[in-house]
Amino acid sequence: MTTKVFIDGEAGTTGLQIQERLAPRADISLIQLGEDARKDARARRDALNAADIAILCLPDDAARESVAMIESDTAVIDASTAHRAVDGWAYGFQEYEPGHRDLMRGSKRISNPGCYAITSVAMLHPLVSRGFLPADYPVTINAVSGYSGGGKSLIAAFEDARAEHNTTSAIYSYALTLQHKHLPEITRWGGLSHAPVFVPSVGRYRQGMLVQIPLALWSLPGTPKAADLHAALTEHYAGERFVTVAPFAETETIGQLDPESLNGTNELRLFVLHNEESGQAVLAGLIDNLGKGASGQAVQTLNLLMGADEGEGL
């Protein structure tokens, strides 16, 4: 028996990647609409209600409209920002904490995490929940992503010399009003009492992401060592396939972290960089922003809801 899946917004960057991952599978029947039908509200409504699982790859307002169209038992995986910090929606991060998979399986409304956010939350939540990091700690997050994270318009700005907003910059910072759309999600699921200072950047490469959270260990309750933070993260993700923590000894010899090193995977790799003499550490996370940061994570969640192996198609 196959699972009927409808990707609403399949022409976008995330939608196309999900479709490519699902198309070869015999256990999935994709409901597809022609170009004209995709713009027809009635056709979309019918497809949404006919699906066992709908994956929304849409702008926020359009995602809310799609959810409002559903009158059947269709389960929804929403890749937009619209429902990531909304009550009644399960956060689509299987590895978030023990028992979270059961919560996701029991939900018909699941929000697919953002790329910056899932990486930040993966580092913050285990430390806040264990008391190493106070909820009111003044967290700062620095990150760089490949330009594919900005969708078609940003891809064109970097790749198409004819594009109106073509850029030749090697890297630039953005969201300089400190109001990035991932902040509510990071704050809620990271367990923080107020939003972190978040400074994202875009580099002149297509995909791959590095997220870093600097910590003054001497300012934390009990003055933990970097090894204590590493042990907490390692325990939290013990046995997980897609979220791993680099061995502590390895971090002492690392010369650089390459944001493109996990491209093409559904992996999230965490590091605890440290200097014991200064009492400082930097939590770092590597991820493919189009993999576990977007389409790969959505497919992992789809597999969970179907009862398939979580790595199927990944």
Catalytic residue positions? 115
**Whether the Cβ atoms of residue 57 and residue 82 lie closer than 8 Å to each other:** no
| Residue linked to tokens 């994956």 | 55
- Taking CA atoms, 167 is separated from 156, 174, 207, in Å, by 9, 14, 16
CA-based Rg of the chain, rounded to a whole angstrom?
20
Using the structure block, give the residue that is written with the tokens 């697919």.
112
Query: What residues contact 34, with CB distance under 8 A and at least 6 apart?
Result: none
Q: Max CA-CA distance within the chain? A: 64
Instruction: Give the DSSP per-residue string, 214-236.
Output: EEEGGGSTT---HHHHHHHHHHH
For residue 189 the two structure tokens come to: 């699921």
